[in-house]
């Protein structure tokens, strides 16, 4: 049961991505996915769900909000959402952040957002203004903790220093692109910033747009909106990674996706990988990662294959 550093938020080992709600999963399917995820999470653990105001222009948040209200489970769920750019000229200006937060609170049918991200960096707005606006939401009790998403190491360092200098709430986590096929961007610089500041990383595209499921191969036609992105990983290195995943999955008796997610969850600085399923069946392949324990040798083989 990982803890998001510098917070009181204990969360599930798998963060469920809500980007599919209202997109590749209609509302009844989204409800079924959320029900299954909730059922698979021990009662002592808080299921962790990630969404954003820009997912379906608020539809993802609305579906999650209706589900939590219908099931009466808001107090059990750790909810993360994001102030997104959309068509905004200055997306992290104070007025935009306040408006976005109020919209998300309405969509989610809640009084407080547990983890609120700056979805993308906004270099057109001074960091002092952005961080002060986030801090005001925390002080008002509308947001528990704030975090960054898609920040460079330099800008994250600057944001952390700015928050300390002006005495406001700082970012406690970073959502970033990281998986077995995408390692250098995080491991070269961002990881040192995250761990050095006592933050936690929450990697998205944890399954390399589905490539690490093993269903993508040269010439295969896959019915998925992410197929083109996943196909970019096909090649010699991708073959090595998939072979290592297949071997470890066979040894453990679990799906390849569960192994890929567990490797990621075990990396320094990582709190929980974010992954989504557009059906209950896809989600079922992810869930075993929560109880999976890789051996040092298995972890090393995956790391070496993806080097």
What residues are labeled active site?
55
Distance CA 301, CA 305 (A): 6
Distance CA 175, CA 178 (A): 9
Distance CA 48, CA 55 (A): 17
List C-alpha distances in Å: 102 to 17, 95, 272, 273: 21, 11, 27, 27
Q: Which DSSP helix (H) or strand (E) runs through 204?
A: strand 200-204
206: helix, strand or coil: coil
CB 12 within 8 A of CB 290: yes
From the list 61, 134, 142, 58, the residue with the least C-alpha distance to 93 is: 134
From the list 188, 115, 182, 125, the residue with the least C-alpha distance to 159 is: 125
Distance CA 67, CA 256 (A): 30
Distance CA 50, CA 112 (A): 14
């Amino acid at each position: 049961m990982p803890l998001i550093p510098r917070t009181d938020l204990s969360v599930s080992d798998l963060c469920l991505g809500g980007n599919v709600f209202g997109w590749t999963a209609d509302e009844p399917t989204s409800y079924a996915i959320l029900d299954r995820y909730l059922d698979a999470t021990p009662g002592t653990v808080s299921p962790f769900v990630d969404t954003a105001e820009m997912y379906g222009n608020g539809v993802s948040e609305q579906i999650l909000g209706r589900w939590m209200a219908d099931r009466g489970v808001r107090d059990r769920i750790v909810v993360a959402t994001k102030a997104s750019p959309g068509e905004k000229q200055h997306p992290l200006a104070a007025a935009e952040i306040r408006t976005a937060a109020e919209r998300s609170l309405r969509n989610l049918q809640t009084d407080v957002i547990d983890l609120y991200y700056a979805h993308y960096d906004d270099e057109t707005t001074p960091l002092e203004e952005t961080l002060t606006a986030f801090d005001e939401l925390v002080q008002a009790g509308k947001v528990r903790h704030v975090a960054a998403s898609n920040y460079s190491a330099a800008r994250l360092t600057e944001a952390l220093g700015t928050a300390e200098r002006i005495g406001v709430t700082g970012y406690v986590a970073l959502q970033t692109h990281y998986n077995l096929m995408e390692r250098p961007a995080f491991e070269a610089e961002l990881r040192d910033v995250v761990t050095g500041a006592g933050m936690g990383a929450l990697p998205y595209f944890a399954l390399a747009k589905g490539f690490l499921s093993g269903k993508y191969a040269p010439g295969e036609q896959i019915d998925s909106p992410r197929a083109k992105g996943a196909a970019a990983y096909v090649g010699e290195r991708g073959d090595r990674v998939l072979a290592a995943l297949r071997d470890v999955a066979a040894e453990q008796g679990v799906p390849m996706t569960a192994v890929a997610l567990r490797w990621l969850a075990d990396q320094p600085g990582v709190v929980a990988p974010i992954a989504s399923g557009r059906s209950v069946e896809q989600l079922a392949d992810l869930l075993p990662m929560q109880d999976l324990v890789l051996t040092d040798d298995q972890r090393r083989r995956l790391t070496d294959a993806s080097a």
